[in-house]
Copies of this chain bind each other. A is one copy, B any other.
Amino acid sequence: MVEAAKLISVIGAGAADERQKQDAFQVGQLLAQAGWGVVCGGLAGVMTEACRGCATAGGLTVGLLPGNEHDAANQWCRVVLPTGLGQARNALVVLAGQGAIAVGGEGGTLSEIGHAIKAGRPVVSLGSWRVEGVPQAESPEQAVRMLLDMLER
């Protein structure tokens, strides 16, 4: 028997500013330090930084790509899964994790917040969409703590 990796979905756009990238890096790092891996959309920006933070802290990283080719993944994904599904892969990104942290983000991230709510996955916003029922964190530390608290309940 193998212990399944415990994963948190980190969601956010490929086009991210410096603050969002730093936040994503720290979220990934804090998750790894708490024993979690990261699953994300496998591309640039928030996705790259969350993977880099997680991987450099020893955590497992999984990227679910929209296209068909492995080499579109960022260089910090340990498990690269080209889905070929386009934006429908967003539903898979949030199903894969036990919960989700949204860092910045655009329409795709909003779709993931919606899929998380629908699937009953707890989700925390860190400088992402302001949506009724989704708690807002002020820092990476708070975002990770809030989410892990929600998962323990």
Contact = CB atoms under 8 A, between A and B. Distances in A.
Interface string A123-148: 00000011110000000000000000
A109 interface: yes
A111 B106 contact: no
B116 A114 contact: no
Given A114-B107, A114-B110, A85 B88 contact: yes
Contacts of A68: 86, 95, 119
6 contacts: A4-B77, A5-B79, A7-B79, A84-B91, A87-B91, A110-B131
A112 interface: yes
Given A2-B55, A87-B118, A95 B109 contact: no
